[in-house]
Amino acid sequence: MRRLVRAVHPDLFASGPAGASAVNDESLKTIQGVLDAVTKSRVIPDAGIKRLKFYVRDAAAPEGVRVVTQNFKTTGGDCRNLVAKQLKELFSAVGVSPEFRWNEGDWTHDPESATNARNRGDVAKGWDLYPAARSHADAKSAASSSSSRFSSDRDDVPRDETKRRADLHGALKVNDKLFEAIAAVPWIPEPVGDDRVRAINDEIVPRLEKEGWRVSRDVIERIWRGERDDASVMDGVDAASGLALSAIVRHSRNFDRAYGKPNKPRVNFYPKPPPSADDGTR
């Protein structure tokens, strides 16, 4: 589930195509509703068929984006095998590892435990990367509850989430030129471009890290050496930093398409400054 969220997170499509972010958001919420019914509320999901649609980044597709669709069916009974099969098919179509399994105790029909589960904060594993979907599911549960605490939580979610997304989108946009500069390093020739590469390593990357983006040297070097898998570079970092690294990958793909592989691959990604005239070197 983590890999699916990383691949189709709505924030990845904040700049387009038009409507893609909202479409991915709604489809993730649909899956979240089924998983929370099973693992959190301990009830059998209602019978129905939902049409899922996801926009996915794909360098080989026109404009770098393709669309994945799926009819997601629940029977109103214990359909754990059907749901697992559909999720595996969806993972494969999106381009992530087609692995899924239920935990022990899932599909245990015990609706009386739902309140305690909510109070504990039980959620389907993997959704901590996508709090918007969890909030959506909690809000649906709260709609039928007389608890004022759940109602106030529900009312606060949309405003907070909207502001968070707007702030993140703004920060990604402001720093996009810096992400592009980082992506360009493999195409900067040695040694004539070493001053620029040193500035990127010594000024741009530290500035981003100081601002809270976890853009580690190791991951950036993997991108410079050819890594183009969004899920791989986003693994283990917070969602915002993952989107920053994904932006660097996106610019790298653009350079790949525009210029092909560098004519002469850069050997040294961390050039040292030349000795100065006053350091005793002759």
Contact 21, 9 (CB under 8 A): no
Q: Give the pLDDT of residue 161.
A: 60
d(CA 99, CA 87): 8
Q: Give the pLDDT of residue 226.
A: 93
CA quadruple 110, 98, 93, 253: dihedral positive or negative?
Answer: positive
pLDDT digits over 154-172, tens only?
Answer: 444 446 666 777 788 888 8
Q: Specify whether 183 is located in the same domain as 150.
A: no
Q: Give the pLDDT of residue 92.
A: 94
DSSP string, 54-104: EEEE-TTSGGGEEEEEEEEEE-SS--HHHHHHHHHHHHHHHTS-----PPT
Q: Give the pLDDT of residue 146.
A: 34
Q: Specify whether 91 is located in the same domain as 13.
A: yes
Series of mean pLDDT values for 10-residue runs along the chain (282 residues): 88 86 91 86 82 91 89 86 93 91 81 56 48 47 37 45 75 91 95 94 93 91 91 78 89 90 92 74 50
- On whether residue 17 sits in a domain, the answer given is yes
Q: Specify whether 88 is located in the same domain as 219.
A: no
d(CA 130, CA 30): 13
Q: Specify whether 84 is located in the same domain as 151.
A: yes
Contact 157, 65 (CB under 8 A): no
Q: Specify whether 128 is located in the same domain as 220.
A: no
pTM exceeds cut of 0.85: no
Q: Specify whether 162 is located in the same domain as 201.
A: no
Q: Give the pLDDT of residue 238.
A: 78
Find the DSSP H helices in 70-188: 80-94, 114-120, 131-143, 148-174, 176-183
Rg (CA), the chain: 23
Domain boundary among 148, 168, 188: 168
Residue 23: CB atoms within 10 Å: 18
Q: Give the pLDDT of residue 168.
A: 80
Instruction: Give residue 93's domain range.
Output: 2-168
Contact 270, 77 (CB under 8 A): no
Which residues lie closer than 8 Å to 69 by C-beta, 6 or more apart? 51, 52, 53, 54
Q: Specify whether 6 is located in the same domain as 122.
A: yes
Q: Packing angle between helix 217-224 and helix 239-259, nearest 10 degrees?
A: 20
